[in-house]
Amino acid sequence: MTKIKINGPIISSDDKWIYDLFDREATCPKDIADLLPTDNTAIEVDINSGGGLVSSGNEIYTALKSYPGQVTVNVTGMAASAASIIAMAGDTVKISPVAQIMIHNVQNGIVGDYRDMDKNSNLLKQYNDALANAYVLKTGLTKAEILAKMDEETYLNANQAVELGFADEILFIEQQAPQLVASEANNMLPQDVIEGMRKQRKPVSQQTVNVTVEDLKPALAQAIQDLKDTTIIDGKTLTEWDEFNKQKEELAKENHIFGGFLSKL
């Protein structure tokens, strides 16, 4: 069975390389798409995430929900916000006795006048209504009940999650209880950092490097020396063979009839 881990914030595939650069744990849609088996065998998805980008969470949810094979989801720590949407994709959802599921309204930050605010309010309500469908499909609760729980920013422990239909059973895992946080999404890198790194990153074809011959000589000399030091022929490195041949030449000169004369040249 293929195991897939969804840990850390849910981010876009375009930003994943930046998180990798800083050695930060995160999950993007491409991570999941690359791990889905081509033979449609059963998969097991472990989730410990405080959520992140709605669009990326929706993409992962859709990929898992449309996967032809059996999908088992294990909520091992926290499945909050966008990560709770992903959890709803499981044919069977299991939750650790120390884990939680959190659902809440979609949030964003905009700047504008009252017209922009009105438009943004309607947009957020549409997003809430769309996301509620995933919870309704899994739990069997009404849309109104789900939206009310999203309004309240509802945290569900293992027993509550099973009782309300967000999970099917409680896991009994012999492991250290994961650290519980209010929202792992706060661990997402600031957007200005991401944009700054994106601007600095250029395709190799766009990079121009000016190097003179004099600049290259030390590097080439070192590369040649490294090759001699690491290449072994008949038990000796090329460097050792050079020294051995040099000693043979010196000995030949000394033993030559004109050796004494040649040594003074």
Nearest Cα residue to 99 out of 119, 77, 72: 77
Answer whether residue 162 shows pLDDT above 50: yes
Bridge-based pairing of strands 71-80 and 92-95 is: parallel
**pLDDT range class, residue 247, cuts 50, 70, 90:** confident
The percent of residues above 90 in pLDDT, for the chain, comes to: 58
**CA distance between the termini of the chain:** 78
- Is the pLDDT score of 220 beyond 80? no
Average per-residue pLDDT for the chain: 85
| Residue 5 neighbours by CB under 8 Å, 6+ apart | 27, 45, 46, 48
List CB contacts of 265: < 8 A, sequence separation 6 or more.
Answer: none
Q: What is the model's pTM?
A: 0.68
pLDDT of residue 208: 57
Supply the angle between the helices 114-139 and 54-65 in degrees, to the nearest 10: 20
Residues of the chain with CATH 3.90.226.10: 2-200
CB atoms within 10 A of CB 250: 12
- How far is the C-alpha of 25 from the C-alpha of 184, rounded, in Å? 11
Residue 181 is predicted with a pLDDT of: 42
d(CA 27, CA 19): 9
In whole angstroms, give the CA distance from residue 53 to residue 48.
15
Compute φ and ψ for 171, nearest 5 degrees: -80, 155
Residue 94's pLDDT is 97
CA 194 centroid distance within chain = 14
List the structure tokens of 133: 């469908």
Distance, in Å, from the CA atom of 136 to the CA atom of 245, rounded to the nearest integer, reads: 83
pLDDT of residue 177: 47
Q: What is the pLDDT of residue 108?
A: 82
Q: Give me 212's structure tokens.
A: 């003179």
Look-up: residue for tokens 């943004």?
A: 120
Is 64 within 8 Å of 32 (Cβ atoms)? yes
Cα distance between residue 187 and residue 8, in whole Å: 8
Give the pLDDT confidence of 48-107 residue by residue, as tens digits: 999 999 999 999 999 999 999 999 999 999 999 999 999 999 999 999 999 999 999 998
| Distance of alpha carbon 141 from alpha carbon 156, whole angstroms | 15
Q: Round to whole Å and give the CA distance between 84 and 106.
A: 12
**Superfamily per CATH, domain 2-200:** 2-enoyl-CoA Hydratase; Chain A, domain 1 (3.90.226.10)
Instruction: Give the integer Cα–Cα distance in Å for 257 and 216.
Output: 44
- Judged by phi (left if over 0) then psi (alpha if -120 to 50, else beta), residue 81 lies in left
Pick the range with the lowest mean pLDDT from 116-120, 146-150, 172-176: 172-176
CB atoms within 10 A of CB 49: 31
d(CA 181, CA 222): 52
